[in-house]
Amino acid sequence: MSVKFKDYYGILGLKKGATQEEIRKAYRSMARQYHPDVNKAPDAEEKFKALSEAYEVLKDPEKRRMYDQYGSGYQHGQEFRTPPGFGGFGFNPGGANGAGAGSFSDFFEMLFGQAGRGANGGARSAGGFGGGFGPGFSGGAGFGGFGNEYGQGYGSGAATGEDAEAELLVPVEKVITGGAMTVQLTLPGVGSRSYDLRIPQGIAEGKRIRLAGQGPNGGDMYLKIKYDQSGLYALEGSDVVTEVRVAPWEAALGAKVPVQTPSGKITLTIPAGSSSGRRLRLKGQGMETGGVKGDLLVKVSIVLPETTTPEAKALWEELQRKTGWSPR
């Protein structure tokens, strides 16, 4: 059996040496143009399916290598026959991003064998964008929220039909130290799945973590980092800010108090006469970025006793009379 050879590069308007980024951009641009929810031309759906099939092959390095190897001697529209003994690619492709209903072409199935079919042996359909590029596209609802081992909910994002992005709220403690973090993603057509991430130590706010192939319809998922500064620490650049609560007499007379830092508990000297809000700087105890550590800034917070006995009240009154001092 022979079929017409398909020039996947030509379908995307590219040359054979195109980079992966050029392939991705070309697909996204043309998919917007020919998506059947937007383009009502009679041939729009077929063009869209051809784009999706081309991208399904060229976005995957191994499929692309096989396509280049066995299709190098053909031109678009020529009769193509797989080499003797070549039984197809034989792996499950992950789904074309946004492919419309219907199977891939006979050329795809001849070259890649059962890769083009679903688990039930029927023609595989990737189903639609599940989000869309903007008003007028199908879906648009995006996907659900995020959660991690801290039990916090994270906001939602909108799918582009190929890739998706959402904000990932990361506790400052995890940013400072880096390490493992579990994220629960809920996507339409995919369901809820748990992913183990590794947060790079010192990752900047606004940076993105890429989960290849984990977006809607086999696209990529990008998690945009946002700091959760509601815990024990806050960040000011590479400086770590925390708070120590002291009694009025500790602030007045000076004291040595325990303070929890990202690297462990230390004993901090509170200078006599410290006012509430004073910051004590510990050099080199902050977050490491670019091989250089910031400082730890400990904010002094004076806390009064919750209850006052008559004896304590009398002492406060005597102090007031003897000093005659007021901050105003």
Sign for the CA dihedral angle at 33, 22, 104, 91 comes to: negative
303 pLDDT band (50/70/90 cuts)? very high
99 pLDDT band (50/70/90 cuts)? very low
pLDDT of residue 149 exceeding 60, the answer is: no
Element (H, E) at 147: strand 146-147
63 pLDDT band (50/70/90 cuts)? confident
Angle at 7 between CA 66 and CA 37, to 5 degrees: 110
State residue 207's pLDDT score. Answer: 92
Regarding predicted confidence, which is higher, 200 or 183? Answer: 200
**Residue pLDDT, tens place only, 184-241:** 766 655 567 777 889 999 999 999 988 887 776 677 888 899 998 888 899 998 999 9
How many C-beta neighbours within 10 Å does residue 286 have?
25
**Residue 130 to residue 97: CA distance in whole angstroms:** 10
**114 φ/ψ angles, rounded to the nearest 5 degrees:** -70, 0
**Residue pLDDT, tens place only, 109-120:** 777 653 333 333
pLDDT of residue 107 exceeding 80, the answer is: no
20-34 and 44-58 helices, crossing angle to 10°:
160
| Residue 36 exposed, middle or buried by CB count within 10 Å (0-12, 13-18, 19+) | middle
How many C-beta neighbours within 10 Å does residue 140 have?
15
pLDDT of residue 291 exceeding 90, the answer is: no
Cα distances (Å, whole numbers) of residue 233 to 126, 167, 204, 286 = 45, 20, 16, 10
State residue 266's pLDDT score. Answer: 92
Averaged over 122-129, what is the pLDDT?
28
Regarding predicted confidence, which is higher, 72 or 62? Answer: 62
pLDDT of residue 151 exceeding 50, the answer is: no
Mean pLDDT check: name the lowest of 73-77, 213-217, 254-258, 273-277: 73-77
State residue 14's pLDDT score. Answer: 92
pLDDT of residue 130 exceeding 80, the answer is: no
The size of the chain, in residues, is: 328
State residue 92's pLDDT score. Answer: 36
**Contact criterion met (CB below 8 Å) for 266 and 210:** no
Mean pLDDT check: name the lowest of 52-56, 111-115, 145-149: 145-149
State residue 60's pLDDT score. Answer: 84
Here the tokens at position 255 are 């004291």
74 pLDDT band (50/70/90 cuts)? low
| For the chain, percent of residues with pLDDT exceeding 90 | 24
Averaged over 48-62, what is the pLDDT?
87
Q: What integer best gives the mean pLDDT of the chain?
A: 74
